[in-house]
Amino acid sequence: MAKISIDGDDLVVEMEGLDKLWALKSRLAIPLTNVRGATADPGIIREPKGLRAPGTRIPGLITAGTFHIDGEQVFWDVHDAAKAVVVELADDRYARLIVEVADPRATVALVEAALAAR
């Protein structure tokens, strides 16, 4: 699971527990100017993941780390698809961040409020 927060002009994603190991990252900081929006999307788990490099994928259990698909990099950290949030990015290393959070609706509201305030 991950925690998304806003720190000044950055969206911060912090992986929790063993997800740091599975995702091979403990923290991502993305400038809010690169964030296009966020949605809660439990169906995202059914999308193709692409090539894992580096990361972990055990179908039905965990998808975590960097995945390459259609010339884009996507960061995943999902165990429970029902709690998945998709953050769309522009002009960044990643095209999307797909992470599991404790409260998807509250996380989407947090991101959208931060974008509206810029």
How confident is the chain (118 residues) per 10-residue block, as mean pLDDT?
A: 97 96 95 98 91 90 94 96 97 97 98 94
Residue type, position 94, single letter: Y
Confidence (pTM): 0.94
The number of domains in the chain is 1
User: Is 10 within 8 Å of 29 (Cβ atoms)?
Assistant: yes
Burial class (CB in 10 A: 0-12, 13-18, 19+), 65: buried
- pLDDT at 60 (0 to 100): 86
Which residue range is the domain that position 11 belongs to?
A: 2-117
Q: In which region does residue 18 sit, left (phi positive, over 0), alpha (psi from -120 to 50) or beta (all else)?
A: alpha
- pLDDT at 118 (0 to 100): 82
